[in-house]
Amino acid sequence: MQHDKIITEAESKNDSLRPKISEFPLPQLGGRTEQVFFGLPQTAEFAQNSTLDALYLHIPFCTSKCHYCDFFSLAGHLDQADAFLDAMGRELELQVSHFGRVAPETIFIGGGTPTLLPPVALARLMAQINSAIKFDRLTEFTVEANPNTFDAQRAKILRAGGVNRISFGAQSFSATELAVLQRDHHPESVPVAMNIARHAGIDNLNLDLIFGIPGQSLADWDQNLTRAIELESTHLSCYGLMYEPNTAMTARMKRGEFTPAADELEIAMLQHTRDRLGAAGFGRYEISNYARAGKACKHNINYWKARNHLAIGPSAAGYHSGFRWKNVQSLTRYIDALNTGSPVVPITEIERLTGLARWGELAILELRLNEGIVLQEFQQRTGVDALAILHALLPRYSALGLWEVRNSSLALTEAGISVSDTIFADVLEAFAQAARGN
Ligand code: SF4
């Protein structure tokens, strides 16, 4: 089943960018001809002080590699933390000199495991952010943490730096399931870490959970949900396990070491999640995300509304006015590109979405949200009547009960969520056809 992909909260880790080399001149990294990067596009849309709603920073260090993980993360490289922070500070300076001293609504530090940084390094990162960014509009500042790398000293540093939300990679409350995933924490480290955060004054807490783990029954998944509810987090991200290429989990599956969860079981888990969390007071606001009232993740909503966001760090992906780009996915190359006399933002992939292609992507992002495509708002922003573009799909999917127009929005139903990937592909094709004038 392809209903979703494991992504921890910050989706800017996504790897969907494709290079469009012909559109932009290729600056060269000072003195090194073998290493070529794009800088930030020099276009009118990238004007100084243009609105940027979100900032993402990627910290790539981890203690070990979880077997399902296809994020850019490295075990055993923490000795490069200082050089990495030098480079990240320079990238922040370059971006600020390009865009001005931006004032995002949301900041998200993800990885990797940001809280693996030693306290001194974490304090330095907070200082770098505080000197580069204006906090005037900031309402949400999240840091991802692994439960076993979170302590009172780090919590205090984060709180002093303005952090008001922690996203913990809990994944499961079963030691057996964590072992299947090769996570390196114990289930009981989660409540300990949550208490530390609360004690430091950070009480907006997310837990990431994974369902569809090999060997996990519906009752096992229910126990995970029960434990998460007991711990009184404000937000839960529940993703089905995906078998990404080049992960240890996929290799083990191919070797026949276990049988993946059946599609029917995953669909039952998805539906049970909605019912169980709904009964406990969590509203589903996106396919995989649930929150108590007022606690939906603003940073991810900025992504799902395709609002402008900067992204700093290796593999980080930014978006601005139809441009999207991604930094080099290599710690060494990232550090080398920035720690020189002529530093450059080490962008390796850049693409410009225009016209209906851009708005088709916005449509499928908004369909992820419970509120769906708010039709009037969509038209005001894009000049496009979404229902007119989707006129051929509308009656078919409506008759199948996969989506519905409600409160002037087009939104997926529960049945539609189960086949959302198919719907998204069809929606993109409808926008592409309209762009071709068919
Ligand atoms: S802690 Fe997160 S980023 Fe690090 S290896 Fe595990 S899943 Fe990947």
Comparison of pLDDT for 124 and 20, the residue scoring more: 124
pLDDT (0 to 100) of residue 50: 66
Alpha-carbon distance 264 to 1, whole Å?
A: 9
CB 312 within 8 A of CB 330: no
At 116, the pLDDT band (50, 70, 90 cuts) reads very high
pLDDT, residue 35, reads: 52
Our mutation pick for probing the ligand 1 site, out of 13, 58, 69, counting the most ligand atoms within 8 A of Cβ, is 69
Taking alpha carbons only, the member of 34, 33, 36 closest to residue 19 is 36
Mean pLDDT of the chain: 90
Query: Ligand 1, residues 15, 78, 113, 249: which to mutate, most atoms within 8 A of Cβ?
Result: 113
- Token pair recorded at residue 399: 């008759």
CA distances 70 to 67, 181, 248, 250, Å, are: 9, 13, 10, 11
Q: Specify the pLDDT at position 13.
A: 39
pLDDT value at residue 44:
63
Helices (H) and strands (E) in the chain, counts: 16, 17
Which pLDDT does position 195 carry in this prediction?
Answer: 98
Higher pLDDT residue, 41 or 236?
A: 236
**pLDDT of the residue at 22:** 31
Check whether 363 has a pLDDT greater than 70.
yes
The pocket around ligand 1, CB under 6 angstroms, is made up of 62, 65-66, 69, 71, 73, 111-113, 146, 169
Q: Does 388 score more than 60 pLDDT? A: yes
Residue of minimum CA distance from atom 5 in ligand 1: 65
121 touches 59 (CB < 8 A): no
Residue 19's pLDDT is: 30
Judge whether residue 4 has pLDDT over 80. Answer: no
- Nearest one of 153, 229, 161, 159 to 190, comparing CA atoms: 229
Token pair, residue 179, equals 């072992």
d(CA 326, CA 313): 9
CA angle 18, 23, 26 (to 5 degrees): 90
pLDDT at residue 6 tops 80: no
- Residue 373 CA to ligand 1 center (angstroms) comes to 32
pLDDT value, residue 10: 45
| Axis-axis angle for helices 152-160, 119-132 (nearest 10) | 10
DSSP secondary structure letter of residue 203: -
The larger pLDDT score, comparing residue 86 to residue 16, is at: 86
Q: Which percentage of the chain shows pLDDT scores above 70?
A: 89
- Residue 131 scores a pLDDT above 60: yes
The predicted pLDDT at position 353 comes to 87
State in Å: Cα 410 to ligand 1 middle. Answer: 35
Q: What angle do CA 22, 60, 17 make, to 5 degrees?
A: 25
Q: What is residue 211's DSSP assignment?
A: E
Q: What pLDDT, in 10s, does the model give residues 45-66? A: 666 556 889 999 999 999 999 9
> Which residue has tokens 């969907």?
16
Where does 22-174 have alpha helices with state H? 81-99, 119-132, 152-160
| Cα–Cα nearest to 397, from 383, 387, 382 | 387
**Four-point Cα dihedral 10, 11, 13, 19, nearest 10:** -150
CA R_g for the chain: 21
Confidence band for 7, pLDDT divided at 50, 70 and 90: very low
Place of tokens 């794009």: 38
pTM above 0.85, yes or no: yes
Average pLDDT in the 310-324 region?
92
Q: What pLDDT does residue 46 have? A: 64
> Which of 188, 246, 250, 180 is closest to 211 using CA atoms?
180
Going along the chain from its start, the domains and CATH numbers come out as 11-352 (3.80.30.20), 355-436 (1.10.10)
pLDDT at 174 over 50: yes
Model confidence over 389-425: pLDDT tens digits? 999 999 999 999 999 998 899 999 999 998 999 999 9
Burial group, residue 231, by CB count within 10 angstroms (0-12, 13-18, 19+): middle
List the single range of 75-79, 90-94, 123-127, 433-437 with lowest mean pLDDT: 433-437
pLDDT digits (tens, 9 = 90+) for 242-288: 999 999 999 999 999 999 999 999 999 999 999 999 999 999 999 99
